[in-house]
Structure 1
Amino acid sequence: MTQRFGSAGNLRRIAALATAVLATTVLSAGCGTGDASEGAGPAPSPSADPKAALLAAVPDEKDPAFRFSTVEGTEKFDGLVDPAARGVELTVSEKDPEFTMGMTFRVIEDDIWVRVKITGMPGLQEAMKLPKRWMLLDRTKLDDASEVPVYQNADPANTAAVIRTAETVEDRGNGTYGGFADLTANADIRENFSTVDVAALGEAAKKVPFTAVVGPDGNLTSLTLDVPAAGKTKAMKLVAKYYDFGKAPKLTAPTGSQVQKAPASAYEMLNG
């Protein structure tokens, strides 16, 4: 157990995965969580321009704070976006037979904090010299600048970029839309799908079915891509969900006894 931690087994893999999601805004694979049906009033009426209507539902800088949730394989991601604060928060967790480790990253403007919580094995967090408070990170002490989390926009799963690759979008009624995404459209799109072997998909990568749902409040609540099997990779669903618009708490910088500067042990964990 100690050797796997010392060699940055699960812990460093979780840290790298978390920072990569924040830095590149990946649309993750899985079933997603969260209530996508919140809101009052009737479903949106059919639009004369379904693609434009769907893009208009994607979160932007004018939206209130909201939550998002994705799953990639066995890794679950829960997050919160606060456009007004130019902030994002992401929580990931890893379960071991003997303990569970959770990491939460909070980014506001250029500042970044991380909080670690290890349960199931008393004394392990103390042995690793990892405080339980928020730790303010110095970006210059993080080795890989490309993996340093930043706030990019109010669409953490990059759903708008996926929708834009569709030639046409069909309004199926009751707030549901459908179309075909082109995962080969540009380099940014291809890089967003680390779990998908775009090359192995061949021509099928240019026409991947997607379904999107817009809630009664006019906000995008889910986007699902049905990726076919390719090579050794089984068919999968790529899903992103947005919810709790206006109900999620606003993000603020930790203060007082809630925070401290990150110790050397935190950088050792993140840098491996």
Structure 2
Amino acid sequence: MADPAKKLTAAAEKTAATSYQFRAQDPAGAGTIEGSADPKTSSSTATMSVDLDAANKLTFQSIATGGAFFLKITGLPTTGGTDLAKYWLKADPAKITGTLSFLEAKDPIDVQGVVAHATNLKSDDGTLFTGTLDLSTAGSGGLLYDAAAAKELGDKAKAVPFSASVNPEGYVSGLKVSVPAYGTEPASEGSVTLMSFGSPVTVTAPTADVMPMPEQMYAVLNEQ
């Protein structure tokens, strides 16, 4: 293929200009994420489940719309006599700096941002692209890798194995990053599947059972 980078960039631009649904595996393998987003209206919804152990898990439901961001969290112990699981917590996105920061984004997958940092791209058929991704410049990671990996990998972060799939309609339908082991962390693989391009995404801000995010909860969120 003459210029795989040019074709993948065009597919990423097309994908970022429409609504989509997505499904992903947490980079650490601890849970799953499903949702939908419309970058044009800056709206998204998502549900993320994280296994704490064999018997317990946390579930995060998110709504981002109209510049506001809400989270509902189940699986947490009662805090200060308040059962937070009953409420939508209105959060300040600027205070969420961990892996969960992708939930408040208008474009949670950020296909364009990921593809922009891909290098050494090759493709034999124009549907499967392989190359490397520079994690040191590619941003927080979100669904594809733990942000800590970029710092801990050192020079290895500049060329991590990467692949992308483009469907017959020209949309990016899959992304995959293979992060090597670092420190005490084993090698991991982050993958995202995108689908239902152009389907309507209806997002409505909650109006009942809403409360401000308790300050102590930001520390909990940033550990995820």
TM-score (norm 1): 0.61
SS of structure 2 residue aligned to 1:90: strand
CA displacement 1:187-234 (0-9 Å, x = unmatched): xx26434252545453x3332221110112211111112233345443
Partner of 2:162 in structure 1? 210
**Where is the helix percentage greater, Structure 1 or Structure 2?**
1
Q: What amino acid sits opposite 1:102 in the alignment? A: T
- Establish whether residue 110 from structure 1 lines up as the match of residue 67 from structure 2: yes
Q: What amino acid sits opposite 1:234 in the alignment? A: P
Correspondence 1:63-212 to 2 at 5 A: 63-73=18-28, 74-95=30-51, 98-118=55-75, 128-130=82-84, 132=86, 135=88, 137=90, 139=92, 144=95, 152-154=105-107, 156-173=108-125, 175-184=127-136, 186=137, 189=138, 191-192=140-141, 193-196=146-149, 198-202=151-155, 204-212=156-164
SS of structure 1 residue aligned to 2:40: helix
CA displacement 1:28-65 (0-9 Å, x = unmatched): xxxxxxxxxxxxxxxxxx5x4211211222222x3034
- In the TM superposition, residue 106 of structure 1 has moved relative to its aligned partner by 0.5
Q: RMSD over aligned Cα, in angstroms?
A: 3.6
TM-score (norm 2): 0.72
Identity, % of aligned pairs? Answer: 21
**Where is the strand percentage greater, Structure 1 or Structure 2?**
2
User: Aligned partners of 2:119, 2:177: CA distance in 1, in Å?
Assistant: 15
CA distance change for structure 1 residues 248 and 99 in 2, over 3 Å: closer, same or farther?
Answer: farther
User: Aligned partners of 2:185, 2:54: CA distance in 1, in Å?
Assistant: 27
Q: What amino acid sits opposite 1:51 in the alignment? A: A
CA distance change for structure 1 residues 210 and 94 in 2, over 3 Å: closer, same or farther?
Answer: closer
User: Aligned partners of 1:143, 1:224: CA distance in 2, in Å?
Assistant: 27
- Bigger radius of gyration: 1
Q: What amino acid sits opposite 1:250 in the alignment? A: T
Asked if 1 retains the 8 angstrom alpha-carbon contact of 2:180 and 2:188, the reply is yes
Structure 1 window deviating more from structure 2 (108-117 vs 91-100): it is: 91-100
Asked if 2 retains the 8 angstrom alpha-carbon contact of 1:66 and 1:248, the reply is no
- Establish whether residue 219 from structure 1 lines up as the match of residue 171 from structure 2: yes
Which fold has the larger relative contact order, with Cα–Cα distance below 8 Å and residues 6 or more apart in sequence? 1
CA displacement 1:51-102 (0-9 Å, x = unmatched): 1211222222x30343342312113222221223311222222445555442
CA distance change for structure 1 residues 269 and 94 in 2, over 3 Å: closer, same or farther?
Answer: farther
CA distance change for structure 1 residues 269 and 248 in 2, over 3 Å: closer, same or farther?
Answer: farther
Asked if 2 retains the 8 angstrom alpha-carbon contact of 1:183 and 1:206, the reply is yes
Partner of 1:270 in structure 2? 217
